[in-house]
Structure 1
Amino acid sequence: MSEDNNEEEKVGLIELESLKDLVHLIINTPFHTIDHIKLKKKHYYFLIVGGLPGFSHIIYFYCQDEPIIENFIIYNNLQDTISFGDKVETRGGITYLPIIHIKNQNIIKPEDITF
């Protein structure tokens, strides 16, 4: 609930076409992390950003059936490719995006995911 009025705050959900699209979005933000949660037997990888008119938050997400087992998504800036790994190495042109696994949250409700 918003403190300014009694209307429920609305969260905007934007489903992206690929995990690479989410990576492209995240590397252009100040926070280089990807959030992960399992809902409705699917794995959601997402980024929460400030709201737009009519929305308190916007969530960009990508959904897949299988979890990413590794701890990092590795983006190669020079080749525009992604891979996965468990440790960070110092290499030029590489961005490591840690996956933050969420245990509980109250922003995304399973019933809100209708697509």
Structure 2
Amino acid sequence: MAAFILAVPPQSPVEPGERAFQRCLACHSLQADAESGPRLQGVFGRRAGAIPGFAYSDAMKAAGRQGLTWDAPTLERFLSDPDAVVPGTTMPYQGGPAAERRLLIDWLRRSGAAARNGM
């Protein structure tokens, strides 16, 4: 009698940074064609308020005109206290633990959030 063993590929565990990103999904996506809030694909190196056609708050558009560009330190400050970095922003997220923010930012960087085509 032949025995068959069915090999089930292991599911990859969800990284802590990706788990933290789940909170962002109500408003953000990494997909280029996302119809939710400003997509985070290409966020690193991108000027704030720069995605054409997205209805940013006046505060975010002004911050971008004044040179605010997203990088790890700026994202850390913004995610810690959005209104302190962009007074009047409509971003509702308030922090979370610093270690979680660092994991999220690192995951974003590795998951396609690096700037492309000057965006």
Bucket of the pairwise TM-score, normalised by the shorter protein: under 0.3
Give the greater-gyration-radius structure (CA): 2
TM-score with structure 1 length normalisation? 0.24
Larger helix share, 1 or 2: 2
Larger strand share, 1 or 2: 1
TM-score with structure 2 length normalisation? 0.24
